[in-house]
Each structure stands twice: as structure tokens, then as C-alpha cells.
């Protein structure tokens, strides 16, 4: 039985319905809230004329419409109603949020097109989007692929953050708040069933243990059959098997003191993750070394389907994506004088156990490419939020220490010689030459970050507020990369494959061929630096329900180190001059208008921004001197620019109807990037001159490409989300309630899915449409749903596979899914 299957069985025996306890008539949150950016659930603060959403984005409780920041808020009921149970699905509600994941470790979250380099995983750099759960910073984006557990609401802040709390982030922050322990007994249970054997269950129970101590225990489980069939193994892959547990104790010895101890455990253990054959493009590699000619060397081999949306694959290596993380935190909040002193102490761990097929075919080229990783992180934050009269401020300090240890292995198989060596070489016809080359990788990172920050709000008048902020940051990274490659020499002995010309087997023909595929490398990079960032915000209340604001921020993303290997020099030593990655330097300008009208039945928020980044951290690829090995690593693009306009509109003319629409226009480009990796149509050829035309087999290729003026990867120029819900009073089975119908959708225009834009990896625009219909009372909700109702075929990402063979792999979006959900409150 799977992890999630066991949890579902447990929930079935502990839910109120199963033990015969009728649900109480206490209200639970309604799914009527249609606007994820402005409409709350019923358990959020409301008034008769409209709605008020309370946020803590500035580490104090305030109405979101009074916060002079571009911020979107999604309540728990909107998440549940629209099936948004992880950050991947959150992108369907947030037009400016981009999420790409081929497996939990290879996951990228961007806001407004910036945040993380696209297409390359490296433990030695930082994310530009901060993920916080109950004020605890999550350094690994792998956490974003797991299910939300008992979430109260999510705040998505756009633009640089860091002068208020936590880790410095240049693109934005995602603040996730879970439900706190309650001194009144309460509970929630939810079960969903759907096609693809989809099963999801959630349970949350909270109540008092004494007059001063309350507890909450929550469980979430998701299980789903894969959506891709592997003809080699006869199994469905890219499945879901998630389990999340969270517990919290709240001790409240007085009205002025609140101490919360919480812990969580999350595990994901699906049959995952495989990418499919998408298409083949022509590169500049010799024709006999491109995909069609290479597959012809294996009589009888044929890809199961050249239409990726047949959802068939033939991957022959074992697949796994076990992703486990958890931790504990202690939060102390003490109302001290006119302010609140807060301390947040946390420890988190992350264990990643992958098994991959990195040749993307059914041929035994690479039989193992697995890099299991273990991480421990410790964070401590202390801050004081003062609020009195015309002046309030937040001042604090943040400390972060992270230790990552990766012990990976990569092994080639019997098809490697024919696939990886030039056909003109007799060695390519000998499977033993490259069969069984094993690279054992030891990768280590020790990462320290210390910061002090302050933010002041000076109310010059009742209408005008000036808010300057400052942050000083120190970062230090110490790394180690040690890859020991062992192969079989021509004399039949196992020998280390060294790039050092002094090695005794350096000139052995088999070893030379192996070195051209993979070679040992050792280096110990390090980085340390101080950085200063600051911002100033002006806000003006034009009217009680109209707020205008303007912001300038000078921010940075700390530098890093390359921990996936670097190019080698001619003498075989690593090129340590590219082992360090310089910090990004960010200049950000933003203006916005927040309005409510029609007795607050309508909300319209608009923001315009302009962001320029110098030394943008980006992916590059370089040839190893004297061989055909390609090394991908991170370097700095001279300058990028992202600018755009965002708008969120919501309308609730009556209790019966609500609707929303959000949109974003994003203009994005590499302003200057002259030594970028070349797209596949300009890669794989010789290194001489003149450079040949794109997609010409056997032509010379440039060493790198000038992509100045081209798109950034992963960003659509246009993105929208929208939805509506209508309800009518009804009485069913003696219960008074509402019958309701809901619809939501989203659209994003064409975007590039490669580090440098390619004619083979643009993804066409697509739209997803979802429907739901149900009946709810104050404590009961049952509804049916269909997501991707029109079964839209779409790619989440396209990737250039190694070796310049022209093969393009695909990560597919979900097909049409449907099912039903029952929710109980007690």
C-alpha cells in the first residue's frame, strides 16, 4: 500500500461520519469566495458593505487594501474549491507566478519572470522568491511540490522583500499561514475521489488541553495514478503519493504572551519523474550523430509514439522521486510596551532520494543518474514591531545556516559507446568501451547568512506615509565538488578516468574515449560578501477607499558557487575562475493604486513596475577543452529588464454572485547577454570559422551566443486568471443551504522554455477551464468538479536533452480530471 493510501485508510476510520458523530451546526468557511486576490472565506473578517482581508505581510495585522505593496491573498476555501493543493496549482490563480518542475529537486519558482535560473539545478545559489510557512523560511523549493497542510491563507508579495523579515529575496515572497490551535473545539474533514484513481483526504482537529494550552493536529494525503504509461515497465509513471502531518501547541499564559511550538513531517514517494519524447530538431552536429542516425544504430528500436500527448514512454532506467522534509519551530510573541517582540527559531531537514533516466530514451545509454541529497537548515529571527502615534517600525535580525550533502552516482550502459562516440571511431562499435563508467559524486555546501533589517512608517499626515527600509547582509558559502570517475581501460583493468595529462592511463585509447564523455574533477569553491539593500515607499490615501503608492528598492541576490562541476582547462585542472557567481544587483521601481467602490462590493488594484538586474545569474554551457564534454554551470548575464502592468478586479454585487479577473502584461528581455549558451540549432558543430547557418548538420557552431534583446525563459507576455460563482437557496434532505455553480480559468501566452530561446522550445499559449457544482450548508459541503474541462493538451516545459542530438523532451500538463469532494465541519 502507498503512503497516501495508508493515510486515506486511516482517515476513513477517524472521520466524524465514520465514528457516528454528526457534524455540528457550527459554520465552516464557504466556497463562495470567487476572487483569489481579494475575496475572503466566510471565516475571514467581513463587514456588511463589503469584505476586509487581514494580512500580516508587514508583520502586523492590517487590511490588505491599506498595504502599499503588490500583494495577492488566497483564502483556504478558494484553494480547496479550485483544487489548489500545492504551489504548482497556485499558478493557475496567480498570473505573475511561474512554476516549473521536472522533479522536486529541479523546481523553479519565479515572480514576474525572475527568481531562479532556468533549467539548471545547483545547490550553491539562492532563490529569488522566498517561501515562508508560519514565518519560517524554506530554503529548498522542493518543499513547494508537496501538499498544503491545513492552510489558512496564502499571501503572494511581488517585488523585492527583505527589509521587514527573513531572507533577502529579489523577486517576491510566498507567505503561507496555517490554522492556529483553537481554544474552542473544532474540526474539519475532507475527502475527494476522482479519475486516475485520485484520492485525497484532509483532517484537522483542534481544541483546548487546559485554560492556557491549545493543540491542533492536521493530516493531508493525496494519491493518484500516473498519467503517462511506460511500455517498457508496463506501469503508469508521474504519479502522486503525498502525505503531510502537522501538529502545533499554543501556550497562552497571559493575554500578552503567546508561545507556539509546531512540527511537521511530509513525504512524497511517487513513481516519478519521466519526461517524454516531444520532437526532434536539427542541430549543427554531424548528421550521423543526430537522433535519427543514432537510433538507426539499434535495429528494431522505435519510440512508442512521436505524439507526446499519447502519453507513452519507454524509459528503461528505474524512476523514483522520494522527497521527505520536516522540522520544528518555536515562535514566541510577547506584547511588550507599544509593540510586539517576536522570536522564531526553527530547524528543518530535507532528504531527496531520486532515480532518473537521463538519456530520455528506451536505450541503455545511462542506466543510473541519481543524486540523493540531505539537508539540514537552522534559522533564528528576532524582531520588534513598534506601533504608537505617527511612527511605527519593525527592527530585527535574521540568522540562517544550511548544510547540504549530496552523494550521487552516474553510470553508463551498453548503448553508450554507439550513442556517445563518433561513428568514425572503431571504439563506437565496441559496447565495452563506455559500458559501466561510474561517476561517484561527493558534493557539499555549508551556507551561512546573517542580516539586520529595519523598516519605518512615518505618518506625515493622516493621508501621507513615508516608509524607508534598510538591510545589511553577510553571506558565506563553502563548497566541495569531488567526482571520481572509474572506467575499464583497454587492458581490462578498472582505472580512474582522469583529466590530468600526467595520469598513467591518460593516453590509453579507451580511457581517452571515456574522458571525452566524463572525467574526474575536484575543487573547493568558496564565496563571502557583504551587501546593503534599501527601499523607500510613499503611500497616499486619496480617499478612504483609494490608496496610491510608489516604491523604489535597491536590492540584491547573494552570490554563489558552482557545485555541478565546471569546465576544465587544457591541462585538465578545473577552471576555478567560473566557480564563483557574482551577486545580482537589482533596481526596482513600482507605482500602484488600490481602490474599492460601490460600497466596497468592487475592488480594483493596479500596479506598474520596472525592474533592472545587473549580473543576472543565468545558465551557461561550455565545452571542456580537448573533449566533447559539455559542462552546464551558472554565470552572470550583464543585464536583464522586466517591466509590466498588473491588475486585479473583483466584484460581489450580492450574496448570490461573485466574480474576479486578474491580468498581467510582462515585457521581459536580456538587455545584454553576449556569452549565453547557444540554442540547439546553433550547437554541436565544430569550433572553427566561419560559423554555419542554424540547423545545418556538420556546420561550425559559435562558442557562445549573443541573446541580447531576446526573451527571458519561462515568462509569458500576457497572463490572465478569472472566475465566477453563483448560488441559490435550496433545501436538500431536510438541510437548508445553497446550491452553487462555479467556474474559473486561466490563460498564458507563448513563452520560451530554454535558457536561450530556440525554434524548438517555444511553448504555445494555452487556456485551462475548470467547473464545479455543489450544495453547502453551514457545516457541510459536497460538490463535483472537472478541471481542464476541455482536455487542453499543453506543455509545462520543453527541454533540450544532452549531446546535441536534437531530441527535445517534454513535461506535460495534467489532462482532464474530474471527481467529487465532501467536506464536513464539526
Per-residue confidence (pLDDT) for residue 18, from 0 to 100: 34
Q: Which of 576, 582, 437 is nearest to 514 (CA)?
A: 437
What CA–CA distance (Å, rounded) separates 268 from 325?
Answer: 9
Q: What is the pLDDT of residue 9?
A: 43
- What pLDDT does residue 782 have? 96
Residue 692 DSSP class = P
Contact 200, 221 (CB under 8 A): yes
The answer, yes or no, to whether the previous bond of 522 is cis (omega within 30 of 0) is no
Report pTM.
Answer: 0.90
pLDDT at 638: 96
pLDDT given for residue 30 in this prediction: 30
pLDDT of amino acid 58: 67
- Residue ranges of E strands in 105-237: 107-111, 129-133, 136-138, 151-158, 172-178, 186-194, 198-208, 213-224, 228-230, 235-237
Tell me the pLDDT tens digit for each residue of 525-571: 999 999 999 999 999 999 999 999 999 999 999 999 999 888 888 78
Residue 526 and residue 750: Cα distance in Å, rounded? 39
d(CA 204, CA 210): 19
Give the domains, in start order, of the chain with CATH numbers: 3-825 (2.40.170.20)
pLDDT tens track for 597-613:
999 999 999 999 999 99
Q: Which regions in the chain score pLDDT beneath 70?
A: 1-51, 57-60, 119-120, 143-144, 621-631
pLDDT one-digit tens code per residue, 353-410: 999 999 999 999 999 999 999 999 999 999 999 988 899 999 999 999 999 999 989 9
CA dihedral of 32, 37, 41, 46, whole degrees rounded to 10: -110
Nearest in space to 437 (alpha carbons), one of 325, 519, 327: 519
Please state, in angstroms and rounded to a whole number, the distance separating the CA atoms of residues 139 and 47: 38
pLDDT of residue 143: 64
- Cβ of 359: how many Cβ atoms within 10 Å? 26
Q: What secondary structure does DSSP assign to 447-459, as a single string?
A: EEEEEEEEEEEEE
pLDDT, residue 120, reads 63
Spatial distance between the Cα atoms of 542 and 462, rounded to a whole number of angstroms = 10
Q: What is the pLDDT of residue 340?
A: 95
Amino acid at each position: 500500500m502507498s503512503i497516501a493510501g495508508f493515510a486515506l485508510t486511516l482517515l476513513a476510520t477517524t472521520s466524524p461520519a465514520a465514528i457516528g458523530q454528526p457534524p455540528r451546526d457550527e459554520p465552516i468557511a464557504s466556497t463562495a469566495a470567487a476572487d483569489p486576490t481579494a475575496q475572503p472565506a466566510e471565516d475571514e473578517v467581513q463587514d456588511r458593505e463589503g469584505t476586509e482581508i487581514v494580512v500580516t505581510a508587514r508583520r502586523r495585522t492590517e487590511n490588505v487594501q491599506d498595504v502599499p505593496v503588490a500583494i495577492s491573498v488566497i483564502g483556504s476555501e478558494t484553494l480547496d474549491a479550485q483544487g489548489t493543493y500545492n504551489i504548482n496549482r497556485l499558478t493557475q490563480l496567480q498570473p505573475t507566478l511561474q512554476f516549473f518542475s521536472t522533479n522536486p529537486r529541479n523546481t523553479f519558482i519565479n515572480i514576474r519572470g525572475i527568481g531562479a535560473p532556468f533549467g539548471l539545478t545547483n545547490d550553491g545559489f539562492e532563490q529569488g522568491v522566498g517561501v515562508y510557512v508560519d514565518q519560517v523560511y524554506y530554503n529548498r523549493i522542493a518543499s513547494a511540490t508537496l501538499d498544503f497542510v491545513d492552510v489558512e491563507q496564502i499571501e503572494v508579495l511581488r517585488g523585492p522583500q527583505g527589509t521587514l523579515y527573513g531572507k533577502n529575496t529579489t523577486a517576491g515572497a510566498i507567505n503561507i499561514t496555517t490554522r492556529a490551535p483553537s481554544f474552542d473545539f473544532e474540526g474539519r474533514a475532507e475527502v475527494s475521489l476522482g479519475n486516475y484513481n485520485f484520492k485525497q483526504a484532509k483532517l484537522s482537529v483542534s481544541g483546548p488541553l487546559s485554560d492556557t494550552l491549545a493543540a491542533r493536529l492536521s493530516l493531508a494525503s493525496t494519491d493518484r495514478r500516473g498519467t503517462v504509461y511506460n511500455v517498457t515497465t508496463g506501469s503508469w509513471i508521474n504519479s502522486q503519493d503525498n502525505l503531510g502531518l502537522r501538529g502545533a501547541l499554543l501556550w497562552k499564559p497571559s493575554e500578552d504572551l503567546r508561545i507556539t511550538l509546531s512540527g511537521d513531517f511530509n513525504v512524497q514517494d511517487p513513481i516519478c519523474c519521466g519526461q517524454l519524447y516531444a520532437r526532434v530538431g536539427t542541430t549543427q552536429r554531424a548528421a550521423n550523430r543526430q537522433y535519427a542516425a543514432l537510433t538507426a544504430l539499434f535495429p528494431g528500436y522505435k519510440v512508442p509514439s512521436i505524439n507526446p500527448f499519447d502519453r507513452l514512454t519507454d524509459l528503461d532506467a528505474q524512476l523514483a522521486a522520494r522527497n521527505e522534509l520536516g522540522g520544528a519551530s518555536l515562535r514566541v510573541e510577547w506584547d511588550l510596551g507599544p509593540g510586539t517582540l517576536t522570536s522564531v527559531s526553527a530547524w528543518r531537514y530535507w532528504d531527496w532520494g531520486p532515480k532518473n533516466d537521463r538519456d530520455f530514451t528506451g536505450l541503455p545509454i545511462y542506466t543510473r543518474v541519481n543524486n540523493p541529497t540531505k539537508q539540514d537548515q537552522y534559522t533564528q529571527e528576532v524582531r520588534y514591531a513598534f506601533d504608537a502615534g505617527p511612527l511605527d517600525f519593525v527592527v530585527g535580525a535574521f540568522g540562517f545556516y544550511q548544510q547540504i550533502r549530496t552523494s550521487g552516482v552516474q553510470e553508463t550502459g551498453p548503448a553508450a559507446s554507439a550513442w556517445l562516440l563518433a561513428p568514425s571511431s572503431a571504439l563506437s562499435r565496441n559496447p565495452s568501451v563506455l559500458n559501466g563508467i561510474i561517476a561517484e559524486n561527493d558534493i557539499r555546501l555549508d551556507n551561512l547568512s546573517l542580516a539586520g533589517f529595519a523598516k519605518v512608517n512615518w505618518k506625515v499626515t493622516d493621508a501621507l506615509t513615508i516608509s524607508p527600509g534598510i538591510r545589511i547582509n553577510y553571506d558565506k558559502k563553502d563548497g566541495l565538488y569531488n567526482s571520481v570517475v572509474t572506467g575499464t581501460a583497454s587492458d581490462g583493468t578498472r582505472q580512474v578516468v582522469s583529466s590530468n595529462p600526467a595520469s598513467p592511463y591518460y593516453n590509453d585509447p579507451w580511457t581517452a574515449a571515456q574522458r571525452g564523455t566524463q572525467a574526474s574533477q575536484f575543487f573547493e569553491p568558496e564565496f563571502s560578501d557583504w551587501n546593503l539593500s534599501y527601499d523607500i515607499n510613499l503611500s497616499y490615501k486619496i480617499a478612504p477607499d483609494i490608496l496610491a503608492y510608489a516604491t523604489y528598492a535597491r536590492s540584491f541576490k547573494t552570490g554563489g558557487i558552482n557545485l555541478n562541476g565546471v569546465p576544465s582547462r587544457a591541462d585538465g585542472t578545473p577552471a576555478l575562475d567560473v566557480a564563483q557567481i557574482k551577486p545580482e544587483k537589482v533596481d526596482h521601481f513600482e507605482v500602484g493604486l488600490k481602490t474599492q467602490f460601490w460600497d466596497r462590493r468592487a475592488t480594483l488594484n493596479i500596479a506598474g513596475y520596472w525592474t533592472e538586474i545587473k549580473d543576472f545569474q543565468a545558465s551557461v554551457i561550455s565545452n571542456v577543452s580537448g573533449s566533447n564534454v559539455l559542462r552546464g554551470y551558472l554565470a552572470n548575464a550583464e543585464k536583464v529588464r522586466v517591466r509590466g502592468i498588473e491588475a486585479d478586479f473583483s466584484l460581489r454585487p450580492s450574496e448570490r454572485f461573485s466574480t474576479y479577473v486578474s491580468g498581467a502584461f510582462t515585457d521581459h528581455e536580456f538587455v545584454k547577454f553576449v556569452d549565453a549558451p547557444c540554442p540547439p540549432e546553433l550547437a554541436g558543430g565544430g569550433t572553427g570559422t566561419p560559423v554555419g547557418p542554424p540547423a545545418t548538420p556538420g556546420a561550425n557552431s559559435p562558442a557562445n551566443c549573443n541573446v541580447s534583446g531576446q526573451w527571458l525563459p519561462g515568462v509569458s507576455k500576457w497572463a490572465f486568471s478569472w472566475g465566477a460563482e453563483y448560488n441559490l437557496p435550496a433545501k436538500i434532505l431536510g438541510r437548508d443551504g445553497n446550491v452553487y455553480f462555479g467556474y474559473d480559468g486561466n490563460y498564458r501566452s507563448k513563452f520560451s522554455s530554454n535558457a536561450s530561446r530556440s525554434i524548438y522550445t517555444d511553448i504555445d499559449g494555452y487556456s485551462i477551464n475548470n467547473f464545479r457544482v455543489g450544495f453547502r450548508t453551514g457545516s457541510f459541503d459536497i460538490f463535483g468538479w472537472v478541471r481542464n474541462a476541455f482536455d487542453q493538451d499543453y506543455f509545462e516545459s520543453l527541454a533540450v536533452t544532452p549531446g546535441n542530438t536534437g531530441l527535445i523532451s517534454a513535461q506535460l500538463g495534467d489532462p482532464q480530471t474530474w471527481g467529487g469532494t465532501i467536506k464536513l465541519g464539526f
